[in-house]
Structures are given as structure tokens and as C-alpha cells.
Structure 1
Amino acid sequence: MKKEFAVIGLGRFGGSICRELSDEGLEVMAIDIDEDRVNEFASIASHAVVGDTTDEAVLKSLGIRNFDHVIVAIGDSIQASILTTLILKELGVKHITVKAQNDYHEKVLSKIGADKIVHPERDMGRRIAHNLISNNVLDYLELSDEHSIAEIVASKKLVGYTLIDLDVRAKYGLNIVAIKRGKDIIVSPPADEEIHRDDILILIGADSDINRFEKRLLGD
């Protein structure tokens, strides 16, 4: 059985999620209070509905509790986002992801039981900043306030060394979970794996440790 998703709020963020899920062949209901936005997604989502999701009766009529995952992407009203999330929780929706506009919004969403809270603008800003700061960092994905996954291009300083030579777990508290080499991906690389030029190391660990690793080993 394919999972069924509902996306509430079809602005830039919600619309992007709706398109991607639909492109993957998943069942998606697109919901927005703006009829023009809904019409835009009528041919993209499985169902596109005009509705005020701060009205419990509307959500009940849509059978919202039957969806596996509901994404609340309302971007123009914190009040509507909070109220929608609260109603979804009371109706027993299995999993709720909500876009937060600021830290205050996130605190309220946490208190009322949102399962996952995302800050797309803030997180993208951090990823871009890391890319600008270091020529070696290709991507940076935040896992929590203090831990991330980073894709880092191996510098000349690392070429020819094995993972056991680098010993990044002991020295930096990091784990190299995979190596991208051209079109190949080496998952859980062995300790005797030698670093090649242009390898991309996929690291996981504390942000402070990733930064130390960048500064001490990656400068050409």
C-alpha cells in the first residue's frame, strides 16, 4: 500500500513538496484556501481542494485522519498554522510535519505535538553559508541543532591515506558513513579504504567537530 499524503498550503514550499511527491507517483491531496493556487495543482496532485483548514468540520469532511502524513505548509499566517496543527492532532492524524516561520512558532508547534518541524529558509541559509565558507563543502544537512551530515570533497592532504590512517572517529568524533567516487558510492567503507583524488566524503557528527575537521585537514 502506498502512503497517502496531504499538503496544506500551496505556496512555494508546500507546492514544491506537492510536486515532488506527485512526481514519485504517490497519492497527494493538495489543500489551500486560495482557489487560484488549488487550480494550479489540479492537474498535479491526486486531488486538489479549496478549504479552510482552521475549520474542524472541513478537515473531517476531507477524511484527513485517514492520511498517513499531513504536511502543514501554511506560510502567511502563524495563527492558521497553529490552529490547523492542533485540529490535526485532535483528529488523530498519524504524522504531522509543519513549516515554522520563526523560533516562537516552533515552540508552540512543539507544545501542541507536531511530529516534525522544519525551517526551510533558515536551513537553506545555513547550507548555502557552509558552501560559501569552504570550497570543500558540497552540502550540509542539519540533523539537529548541533549535529549534521556533510558532503566534503577530499583535498590533496587526504589523498593516499586510508581511513584508519585518518582515524577521524578517534580524533574528531566523526563517522565517515560513505564515499562517493565518480558514479559509485561505497557505503560503510572499510578501514583500509584509501582516499582518492576528488572523492566525496559523507560525514556525520557534531557541527563543531565537522568544522575542526574542515580547518585542520581540508585546507589545500
Structure 2
Amino acid sequence: MLDGFWSRRHFIAAALAAAYARAGAAGPTSIVVVGDSLSAEYGLKRGTGWVALLQKRLAAEKAAVEVVNASISGDTTSGGRSRLPALLAQHHPGVVILELGANDALRGLPLAMTQENLTQMVVASQKAGAKVLVIGQQVPPNYGGDYSARFAAMFDSVAKAHKAALVPFMLKGVADGADPLKLFQADRIHPKEEAHPQILDNIWPELRKLLALRPAKAAA
């Protein structure tokens, strides 16, 4: 009788362990994007920005992952840092995407402050159990060569220091083309709708790794 009891108990334990293993293998179930106007669909129709396109791509990949767009136009790293704890507590994300820093540069804020804010956001996200993807930015040449180089390198430095994933330049293929202005709105700051698929393509490879998604099979 006891042998049967223990057999059933071991069977149940093994089944529970397998269920937990499957849940772990499924990967993160939510992504929180903490960004500025480049992610908040500024000047675009709703549903056409790269974050909305990301949700559609995940659905096409049959990945049960919810994307929470917590981006606010005009936000700085200080604003993102202050908002992050509540977002982590509310959504318990598996992945946090940090797309901030451009407005710090536009406002002439010290690079050291921007770097510290990004660092603390990475650390807080990781302590909450999330993987982090840092989205790199660049500023126009008129900021000066030295400042531009240090600004771009800041994102790489933060990511490497805390073993976070990195997209070196969010607007690659958008802002560095032969005629980049054709992909920007009249303000020359915010990309047009047709540029957002390219932005997602820049972000997707690193995000796919964090989500542990297998590459989609090519059509026969």
C-alpha cells in the first residue's frame, strides 16, 4: 500500500517538475518598452510604429508574448528611471527594452547623468528578473565629433558592464542612408511610418535571442 502511495507521489512530483520545465522553456511572457517619441508613435497612425509591429510579428511567430508600450513622447532617462519601478511591479516583464537618451542630448543634459540613469534602469530590471535590451542612439554631427562619439559609446558601455543585450543604432538604414530625410517627418527628427519596419528589423535579431525564439522556417 505504501509502495503504491510513494509511486503515485513520485509520479505527481515528476509531472509537476515537467510542467515547470515546460513553462521555463516557453520564455518570457511579457515585454515592456520604456521609450520616448521614437517608440510612442509620435506623428503616426496608431498601430504603425515599431512596437505595434513587434506585437504583430510575435503573433505571426506564434509566440505568446504581450508587448506593453510604456513609451512617452519627450521622456528622458530621468523620467524613465522614475517610472520604471511601478512598471516592473505591475507587469513583471521577462524582457525590458530601454529606448531612451535622445531627449537627454537634445536638452544638453550631462552624459554622466544619462549613463547613470540607464545603468540604474538596467540594474533594477535585472533585479526584478527581466532580461534587458538597450537600444543605442546617435546624435547629428552638429553636436561635435567628440560628443557624438561619447554619446554613442555610452550605450555600449552600459550594456557591456551589466551583460545586457544591445542594438548599437536604432535608426540604422533610416538615418544613415543616401537620402535619409525622405524617411523622416517634417521635423527631421521622427521617422515616417515606412521607416518603422526597418527599425523593427534592427531590433528583432537581439530581441529574438532574449526570447529564445527559433528562426522562422523559410517557405517551401
The normalised TM-score by structure 1 is: 0.41
> Comparing both structures, which one devotes a greater share of its residues to strand?
1
Greater RCO structure (CA 8 Å; 6+ sep):
2
The higher radius of gyration belongs to 1
The normalised TM-score by structure 2 is: 0.41
> Comparing both structures, which one devotes a greater share of its residues to helix?
2
